[in-house]
Amino acid sequence: MREASPAVVDAAPRESAMLADVRHGLAQPQKELPPKYFYDRRGSELFEEITRLDEYYLTRTERALLARVAPRLARTLRPRALVELGAGSAEKTRVILDAMRAVGAPLADDAPLTYVPVDVSAAFLAETAARLGAIYPGLRVVPVVADLADEDAAGAFAPRALAHPVLVAFLGSTIGNFEDDAAVRLLRRVRAGMAPVDRLLLGADLVKDVAVIEAAYNDRLGVTAAFNRNMLHVVNDELGATFAPDAFAHSAFFNAAAGRIEMHLVATADQCVLIPGLGRVAIRRGESIRTEVSNKYDRPRLARMLGAAGFEIVTWETDPAGGYALLTAAPCA
Ligand code: AVJ
């Protein structure tokens, strides 16, 4: 007689989205957990800290590019609405909003400019909305809580009801968290809500010297390691799981064949983790859980993905070293 496995017996009829993700991810030959689970309050703070690290070139490089590109965009596009995917703290958004204001974009009641920050973290989003509302009186802030990775959440972030032109900003190389086919599907969902006059503003990290890339994910202060381990704290807190975060080592390396950084948590000892609703999961010493992929692109690869999603690249700017790209793309009719 076959004994029912605890995993089946314990499974609630409607398990949480996180439990479903954990169940799925830990059942893979290469165990994995989705990177969105880095970002509770502590994780968001750690990420902010990462963006200020010497080694982490992405944020400051993109901000410099944005300072160059935003005034021109504000002048030529004159957006009526700004949708920001994965808004986070919306720090860079201010560069765009400032540029719009500088060219006299009416942040006023008669024709309010609308800012739609889209993020998974409701708490973070509320703070962002309140802060920006205070800094830019007249700005209409409409926060949307949505998971960009949710394939069924079509329209959750589609700027259909907004005044055009809409600028859809997807910054920080967050697109790099998606496998190319998933990124194309995401871009297609974005494209579906756009009018021909609208533009996509996409920030993407580019392939470069491997040592430079790897250093960005292996900082000397260990902030990225803490950020990585924080995912296990999040899963413990949310699900009552018994991961021992300190029994995992941070590992981040460039996978040249796939053109991406991979972050893993490597078990430093055999362990048995209880995940209520799922059961006990054995993790062997040396076994890893992949917590993130961060793709590093070149222009042909981005052009191919954008093309497959119904976009054409209109402008392309990189930093002098060619390490990071900030591009605009237009929807194809
Ligand atoms: C926010 C996904 C772009 O991949 O560089 C930073 C997250 N992970 N350090 C990235 C991250 C480790 C970041 N993204």
Over residues 31-50, the pLDDT tens digits come to 999 999 998 889 989 999 99
Query: Contact at 8 Å (CB) between 299 and 316?
Result: yes
Three-class SS state of 116? strand
179 token code pair = 């496998």
128 pLDDT above the threshold of 90: no
Residue type, 276: P
User: Taking the model in full, what pTM does it have?
Assistant: 0.91
CB distance 293 to ligand 1 below 6 Å: no
pLDDT digits (tens, 9 = 90+) for 234-269: 999 999 999 999 999 999 999 999 999 999 999 999
Q: Given ligand 1 and candidates 38, 44, 47, 53, which is best to mutate, with the most ligand atoms within 8 Å of its CB? A: 47
Lowest-confidence region among 82-86, 171-175, 221-225:
82-86
Q: Which atom of ligand 1 is nearest to the CA of 35?
A: 2
Instruction: Please report, to the nearest 10 degrees, the dihedral formed by the alpha carbons of residues 59, 153, 195, 202 taken in order.
Output: 10
Can you tell me the distance from the alpha carbon of 190 to that of 148, in angstroms, rounded to the nearest whole number?
10
Q: What share of the chain has pLDDT > 90, as a percent?
A: 73
Contact 166, 79 (CB under 8 A): yes
CA 18 – CA 39 distance, rounded (Å):
13
Name which residue sits closest to atom 4 of ligand 1, judged by CA.
294
Centroid of chain to Cα 145? 13
Q: pLDDT over 70 for what percent of the chain?
A: 90
Encode burial over 149-162: b for 16+ CB neighbours within 10 A, e otherwise. beeeeeeebbbeeb
- Are β-strands 324-331 and 81-85 bridged in parallel, bridged antiparallel, or unpaired? unpaired
50 lines ligand 1 (CB under 6 A): yes
Structure tokens at 318: 């990189």
| Helix 223-239 × helix 17-26 angle, to 10° | 120
Q: Is 327 helix (H, G, I), strand (E, B) or coil?
A: strand
**How many other C-beta atoms can be found within 10 angstroms of the C-beta atom of residue 9?**
9
